[in-house]
Structure 1
Amino acid sequence: MSPGDPKWLDVIERDLHRQFPFHEMFVSRGGHGQQDLFRVLKAYTLYRPEEGYCQAQAPIAAVLLMHMPAEQAFWCLVQICEKYLPGYYSEKLEAIQLDGEILFSLLQKVSPVAHKHLSRQKIDPLLYMTEWFMCAFARTLPWSSVLRVWDMFFCEGVKIIFRVGLVLLKHALGSPEKLKACQGQYETIEQLRSLSPKIMQEAFLVQEVVELPVTERQIEREHLIQLRRWQETRGELQCRSPPRLHGAKAIMEAEPGPWPTLQPSPSIRLPPDALLPGSKGKPKPPKQSQKEKEQWKQAKASGQLDKPPTPSQAKVAAAAGDACPPQDVPLKDPAHQDPAPQDSAPQDSAHHRSQDSVHHHSQESLTSQESEDTYL
């Protein structure tokens, strides 16, 4: 790896021990966690030398390293800086200033009481929302809430960051009772820095964020309004950041690639003759063995399959089938059969047919049972 700019490397080294110092990955100086964090942040300064390093990137990269290898954490950091929060970590922080004005304008619709109090105290949004937004609340919320917020943030984009900020402001300054302790700027800032644990509790916070009626369209419309005001009062933005994309779906649609199509992978194997739900037609009968085919041909050649049995023969066949267990009895050629009385010929013929029928039925039962055992 390139040696990098010494100016950025010195700042990065000084910030390493400040990132989650009680976490097992970063608790020891020079440990594997701090080494990976240093490499990720240094790689970004080489990847974007015009931006360099911003201190708010360190907690972002540290959270990523807790969940993935260093290389993946680096590319996730790139996506956050370029797609989710473009311009946040530029030198003059123009994008975060613009989003501060957007947040303050949206607060007027969400909580007029909190908006009026902050306006009367003349508290600039940068005083309370900079760390919230630039660190994606990694340094503000409890760990369980951070993970939930980040999940929603990656899926839906920066509107989740706005919603979380609005929820915190609404419940911290949104009632006259809570404003009694905020008589000045200092007390108000302290109120926002020491938020109530109930507000930051995972279940409560996520429910409030989901139900807050702030959409991407409202954020983009307010962005255009604040951008026009910025240009009228301060001139053009010096940081030309790419357009902000709202969530993973928007990023995927903006960068179509040769994504592999998902192929069905069956997890249940069915017999080849099974009838699937919704399919038409009858299942194919099970295949006969070679022995069964030979017996069927011999029976057909002897003419036994062509003549239907009489009622008396059917009774004899049923009685013979019940009395005789299934066994393999070879069929004899009718031309070489021993002479028998005339009245006993139908009974013998019926007896052979019953044995063949029972034998064939037993073979089918074994075949179906074996097939069932195989797939079950």
Structure 2
Amino acid sequence: MAKSHGENGPRAPAAGGSLSGTRESLAPGPDAAAADELSSLGSDSEANGFAERRIDKFGFIVGSQGAEGALEEVPLEVLRQRESKWLDMLNNWDKWMAKKHKKIRLRCQKGIPPSLRGRAWQYLSGGKVKLQQNPGKFDQAFWCLVQICEKYLPGYYSEKLEAIQLDGEILFSLLQKVSPVAHKHLSQQKIDPLLYMTEWFMCAFSRTLPWSSVLRVWDMFFCEGVKIIFRVGLVLLKHALGSPEKLKACQGQYETIERLRSLSPKIMQEAFLVQEVVELPVTERQIEREHLIQLRRWQDTRGELQCHSPPRLHGAKAILEAEPGPWPTLQPSPSIRLPPDAPLPGSKGKYKPPKQVQKEQRKQAKASGQWDKPPTPSQAKVAAAAGDACPPRDVHPKDPVYQDPQDSAPQDSAYHCSQESLTSQESEDTYL
């Protein structure tokens, strides 16, 4: 599969051990010419007799006319550190999502390592849960697409594209706060949002931005939801039409639309775009508030929506809360267990630790004159283990510590224990 962007081919591997985005840069020793030779071996271009081609850092074949310019360089050491952190997150996903979701969001903004991006998207989107709920039905990519259509962008691909039209009005209203100059110009030219934002939103910018920028946008989109799509659209509009100087070449409707269809490579560049998107102050609450406003206007002018789609979920955390994974929740496990058929006796009265029970029983025995000698070590050990409710076999029935067999489980049961020890299930502690 060939991927072409721009006019110039990718640059040679950078010095200093940085990740240049090619497989050849990982090979030790060869110079640029040798790396070029390695890139052509076994490729389709060699078999078909075409010019030599290279492979970008995403695994796409890039020809002489097919690079998108300079890519953001990530040092190999930094990349390996990020991979290690992401592996830890993916292996303990529930814990991270529950307690460290902000950390996940920050790491998505920095960019998911290419080697783990596919797996991370499955976890973020909930596609992995869908796959586990439907074993043997379709593959991972399919369920990821299902999540996009049903959770992130519900109603986008329905008849009449009502959800897209509604989001176009939301985008245009938010633009008034982000860039009043661009908003005024589009209003004067009477350019409907559908003329420029339909492909942006329906394809999540995959047909608009350079591929490196697309992946970074999708990293954030899967984590934070549709607000990333709104932010990207607002950034592009702001930097394309947001100043009088930029509007000098956009005097009419045709020129304005052409400007938005042929955006400057600078504002689509990976590092610049991501930084602008992260810093743009547009929140989920603002989007939902504007959604309600535009929905009421729609109902007043056009009637009820014909598309009844479920409410969209804003990112990975909301999706996980709506559809938790099938993993069992850890429960406290008591160390004292009863046989399956044994009834669980109820606990009455205030619980007393075994040592305190022993002292009171000894005092009662001394007071009644029936105390002869302290118990043997073996007897004390048995009494301590059973809460002094399981007397040793040689204890006489007249002894005060003797318990009527009718009021307890059989004496020869290996699982016999006192009511006091069973209350440990309520306090989540076990006394032995």
SS at match of 2:126: coil
Cα deviation for residue 369 of structure 1 reads: 44
Q: Does 1:9 align with 2:87?
A: yes
Q: Which residue of 2 aligns with 1:26?
A: 123
| Aligned-partner Cα distance in 1 for 2:318–2:224 | 9
Contact 2:182/2:241 (8 A) holds in 1? yes
State the number of aligned residues. Answer: 311
CA gap 1:375/1:289 in 2 versus in 1, 3 angstroms: closer
Change (3 A) 1:263 1:180: farther
Shift of 1:256: 2.9
1-structure distance, mates of 2:237, 2:426:
69
Query: Take 1:367 and 1:314, find their aligned partners in 2: how far apart are those partners?
Result: 21
**Contact 1:273/1:283 (<8 A) preserved:** no
Distance in 2 (alpha carbons) for counterparts of 1:319 and 1:100: 72
2:428 is equivalent to residue 372 of structure 1: yes
- CA distance 1:29–1:254, shift in 2 (3 Å): closer
The whole-number CA distance in structure 1 between the counterparts of 2:163 and 2:408 is 106
CA distance in 2, matches of 1:8, 1:271: 44
Structure 1 residues 93, 287: closer, same or farther in 2, change over 3 A?
Answer: same
Cα distance between partner residues in 2 of 1:315 and 1:76? 60
Distance 1:351 1:93 in 2: 67
Deviation (angstroms), 1:182: 0.1
* Aligned partner of residue 288 in structure 1, secondary structure: helix
How far did 1:294 drift? 43
Give the match for residue 406 of structure 2.
Answer: 342
CA distance in 2 between counterparts of 1:178 and 1:370 reads 71
- CA-to-aligned-CA distance 1:81-112 (integer Å, 9 cap, x gap): 00000000001100000000000000000000
Which residue number corresponds to residue 286 of structure 2? 218
CA gap 1:216/1:351 in 2 versus in 1, 3 angstroms: closer
**Contact 1:304/1:349 (8 A) holds in 2:** no
In the aligned structure 1, how far is the partner of 2:158 from the partner of 2:310?
12
Which blocks of at least 5 consecutive residues in structure 1 are unaligned? 11-24, 40-70, 353-361
After superposition, give the CA deviation of every residue in 1:327-355 in whole Å (9 maximum; x if it has no partner).
999999999999xx999999999999xxx
Q: Is residue 110–residue 170 contact of structure 1 (8 Å, CA) maintained in 2? A: yes
CA distance 1:156–1:185, shift in 2 (3 Å): same
Further displaced range: 148-157 or 314-323: 314-323
- CA shift in 2, pair 1:185/1:278, >3 Å: farther
In structure 2, C-alpha distance between the alignment counterparts of 1:238 and 1:8, rounded to whole Å: 42
CA distance in 2, matches of 1:37, 1:110: 45
Q: Is 1:138 aligned with 2:206? A: yes
Sort the Cα spacing of 1:269 and 1:104 in 2 relative to 1 into closer, same or farther, 3 A. farther
The alpha-carbon deviation at position 227 of structure 1 amounts to 0.1
Structure ID, larger Rg: 1
Counterpart secondary structure, 2:391: coil
Secondary structure, counterpart of 1:324 in structure 2: coil
What is the root-mean-square deviation in Å for CA atoms of aligned residues?
Answer: 14.4
**3-state SS of paired residue (1:300):** helix
Distance 1:191-1:76 versus aligned 2 partners, 3 A rule: same
Cα distance per residue 1:37-84 (max 9 Å; x no partner)? 999xxxxxxxxxxxxxxxxxxxxxxxxxxxxxxx11111111100000
Quote the offset at 1:254 in angstroms: 1.2
User: Residues 180 and 328 (structure 1 numbering): CA distance in 2 closer, same or farther, change over 3 Å?
Assistant: farther
Q: 1:313–1:350: 8 Å Cα contact kept in structure 2?
A: no
TM-score (norm 1): 0.52
Greater per-residue helix proportion: 1
Q: Is 2:379–2:392's contact at 8 Å kept on the other side of the alignment?
A: no
- Kept in 1, the 8 Å contact 2:241–2:247? The answer is yes
Cα 1:167/1:264, change in 2 over 3 Å = farther
Q: In 1, Cα distance between the equivalents of 2:177 and 2:315?
A: 24
Residue in 1 that maps onto 2:378:
312
Whether contact under 8 Å (2:126, 2:319) holds in the other structure is no
1:37 maps onto 2:135 in alignment: yes
1:208–1:275 CA distance, 2 compared to 1 (3 A): farther
Larger deviation, residues 328-337 vs 278-287: 328-337
- Match for residue 302 of structure 1 among 368, 374, 380: 368
Stretches of structure 2 that go unaligned for 5 or more consecutive residues are 1-82, 89-121
Shift of 1:375: 34
Q: Give the equivalent residue in structure 1 for 2:150.
A: 82
Q: State the Cα distance separating 1:259 from its structure 2 match.
A: 2.6
Identity fraction in percent: 91
1:258 CA drift (Å): 3.1
